[in-house]
Structure 1
């Protein structure tokens, strides 16, 4: 017990120091620190951060979207008006609301307003089909939906009596003018601060749902010290500019948008849909020092023609924050070479939050590493008998001790834990330098002829070929071997589309049992809205013999 107490005190001191170094905590302005802590405690992390920055930097630019720029003071005042409008439409503390919106001011104002009312926000995936949307809405017992006009048709999946309020309106969507909007419900209402709710409403971040209906991971109350994990190994800018390409409904975009605001940064949104060239243009135009992406976005940027990449001045860029899925080694190396040696690869999950961070220095040593855990996080590996693994280069299931991880899904289920360490669901290993490597998902492992194969290793090898854009590997039933490997390859423009050549390439570089028996060429791989590979459609795909 004493050692645990000492460790917590040490972690607190290290976290405070990390926040001080980043500029989140000024020991000479304890009044600001106290005010920030009170705001976050009373209104939740998102609304609390907006309130604090409005109190300390009211005239500084907070965000830029298609409608222009808003200062921190304007975001605070407008969100107060929206909160009063939502209350007038019947929302009360403790209610649950679905938010289905792309990245723009409406999303920010809605999240801040809901926090001030003590209403829980469920961050819906903009890539949902009707069945997924209906299942999540029913499970979370939503009382209303705040959504962009492009999703009007999706609303037919839920009962008509559930109120709708539009967060963004495109004239081309021809929506019913009687549907209220954030602008209409806020009009004429007081911009003054609201009284704090009895309890912060918090947010529910959904898992990727790559194997079924996404689960909900609630974040009811978030410690300010979680930000230490995001800035300990990543030098995010302060009072500068960040381009946020990753969607806010995803933990990557949400966390970095919140931390970016807390650091006083101007946050630049895309024009609601990701465009790789527009991203480069925004970095140049606003002299952005940081870019927030999911890995597929980074790959799409680097896959632009050489002349396009060279057309934009991105010399201001100091940090690329990438998280959400594994990054192929060739993408890592190209990012380091072409984008100012600025890539930070963050390994985490919706449930566990941050797990580890690979700095540019780590990635130069090993492009496929997940790096090392930041302050306050501990990682253990356990074998299939749940005995701890301490030797290097021995794979095991990754377990994490992170005080800021979730406690349970909204349906009551939780993750496996051992001695306070929570399973990530991934298998990995440490090398002799203490760098973590993620070998693949525990449930993605393929047993072929009695040998264990993690598809990620084979995928990365194939994807590293100059004539391949992407690759995915799955296991399919086989009478003799139990499972055999099937590779799906997105060829580059100079590919010969020669399946035998790719098989021979794998055979030359990996063990024989890791060679795919089949290679199927596709124009693209199935992915969700945040770029995660969807293996189920590949499993269900009918392949001609």
Structure 2
């Protein structure tokens, strides 16, 4: 039985650590060119804007002041400069105010990655509206539940999602952010550009306080929970920049969806660094390669399943595009198998950085290319301002090398509780990530699986991720997922789902024997099921519940 949530008071050691982290954070941001030490006035101005308007609107204002004519985003329509973003978002802010959306109003954005979403985010910050970042993969019940729970008073959405809005009251105003002729949207529905066209583009007075954002958890097992992001500090950018050398004033290709934490964090930092960000509404692996080559992108932001799909295109297609401009591939959102780490290095070079965290704890650790080469599959070490500690089920610290424990994280970006009032378990000021892991002798963290994914089979603890990684390492396997299912004799047993490569024999016994040759007998799946693809949500998270519902003959 686990111990209850523990509460501890700050110690002198904690205070000293915070002072040291602050000094290191300033140095990291200087080194990564987030601010110029010779222009402290600009740094102060930027910090004030972030505190008044929120992190995203604040960094756009900073970039517009520093280099207004530089291209900020390039989407399927064309290019917007930082000045364009600033002025058009000011007009949109006034337009929303004219529609009764003011400071403290909760609004929702249901958009893919394009200028309409970006303008919505900046405008919400400028008027102090609270913005809920909706998942574009929602079904009607999820969308309706989140809208009601968060108290959404208006929805800004792409035309393709018009059918979802049937699930909420017609009394909730809606504004279109992107329209295609095939969407079937009501032509009487106003667009954000209708609002922009009627208003002045002059600077908007700051709200009394920032409205903040609500990011939703992945929702792989039900209605996603809301994780508010109300506490902001420019210093927290150092957690991303400490171990990841994101370039400045270059080009970033944003493949990950911005509505989720991975895309949102890197988009915000990319803009803060003065980068031009390439946006595409829908991910296509070959089009992503083409975009990297065309724009000479130095940074690519992905979730692991996107990276997997790019690599699985094969050598002939990969060779068609010059991706030598890439300096950083930023991957986060789900686990990276050792095989994917090695194949990425073979194709793109030593540019892969793997961030481990969650919607709730934010940043936990980062693995650098050198660490991934030395220990494929590791999630690395904590950056400045972050602590990671393992605890057992009784809340006692786990310190032995290789010993498995529950992962707890301390980060200035960690949330303060879900919007429904619930929270994650906290011990000694560190928050549970919900994962199980271990440290190796070099202090590198490995995630062994979700706390609730572990099964007990015949009295033995089994983590499905270990078997998944083993299977993914086979040349004839594109992807693999392993789940626990009920078993009359053993309590639980393993069932493997495999997406085969072109050279696969699709032989279940061959797969079982491979596991038996490499792992303990109790880790061998009883069944092996071949699928064309694994079920995933819009952020690339594996939907294990869907796998459990697949009927097996």
What pairs up with 1:82-121 in 2 under 5 angstroms?
A: 82-121=92-131
Give the structure 2 partner of residue 514 of structure 1: 523
Contact 1:248 1:254 in 2 (8 A): yes
Give the structure 1 partner of residue 136 of structure 2: 126
1: CA distance between counterparts of 2:304 and 2:380? 16
- Residue number among 499, 503, 515 corresponding to 2:508 in the alignment: 499
2: CA distance between counterparts of 1:9 and 1:226? 14
What pairs up with 1:266-285 in 2 under 5 angstroms?
A: 266-270=276-280, 272-285=281-294
Give the structure 1 partner of residue 432 of structure 2: 423
Give the structure 2 partner of residue 364 of structure 1: 373
Instruction: Quote the offset at 1:25 in angstroms.
Output: 2.0
Give the structure 2 partner of residue 66 of structure 1: 76
Is 1:304 the counterpart of 2:334? The answer is: no
2: CA distance between counterparts of 1:332 and 1:34? 40
2: CA distance between counterparts of 1:472 and 1:66? 35
Give the structure 1 partner of residue 7 of structure 2: none
Q: TM-score, normalised by structure 1?
A: 0.99
Give the structure 2 partner of residue 19 of structure 1: 29
Q: TM-score, normalised by structure 2?
A: 0.97
2: CA distance between counterparts of 1:210 and 1:243? 26
Q: Give CA-to-partner distance per residue, 1:262-317, whole Å, 9 cap, x none.
A: 000000012x1101111111111111100000000000000012111001111110
2: CA distance between counterparts of 1:335 and 1:52? 35
Contact 2:355 2:379 in 1 (8 A): yes
Which SS does the other structure have where 2:452 is aligned?
Answer: helix
Is 1:454 the counterpart of 2:441? The answer is: no
Q: Give CA-to-partner distance per residue, 1:79-109, whole Å, 9 cap, x none.
A: 0001111111110211111110000000000
Which SS does the other structure have where 2:21 is aligned?
Answer: helix
Instruction: Quote the offset at 1:211 in angstroms.
Output: 1.3
Which SS does the other structure have where 1:152 is aligned?
Answer: helix
1: CA distance between counterparts of 2:221 and 2:77? 37
- Residue number among 148, 167, 171 corresponding to 1:161 in the alignment: 171
* Matched length: 543
Contact 2:516 2:524 in 1 (8 A): yes
Which SS does the other structure have where 1:526 is aligned?
Answer: coil
Give the structure 1 partner of residue 181 of structure 2: 171
- The RMSD of aligned alpha carbons is 0.8
Give the structure 2 partner of residue 209 of structure 1: 219
Long gaps (5+) in structure 1: none
2: CA distance between counterparts of 1:34 and 1:207? 33
2: CA distance between counterparts of 1:485 and 1:6? 47
Which SS does the other structure have where 2:345 is aligned?
Answer: helix
Is 1:147 the counterpart of 2:165? The answer is: no
What pairs up with 1:174-189 in 2 under 5 angstroms?
A: 174-189=184-199
Q: Give CA-to-partner distance per residue, 1:424-472, whole Å, 9 cap, x none.
A: 0100000000000000000011110011111111011111111111111
Give the structure 1 partner of residue 409 of structure 2: 400
2: CA distance between counterparts of 1:466 and 1:171? 43
Q: Give CA-to-partner distance per residue, 1:363-388, whole Å, 9 cap, x none.
A: 00011100000001111101111110
Contact 1:200 1:221 in 2 (8 A): no
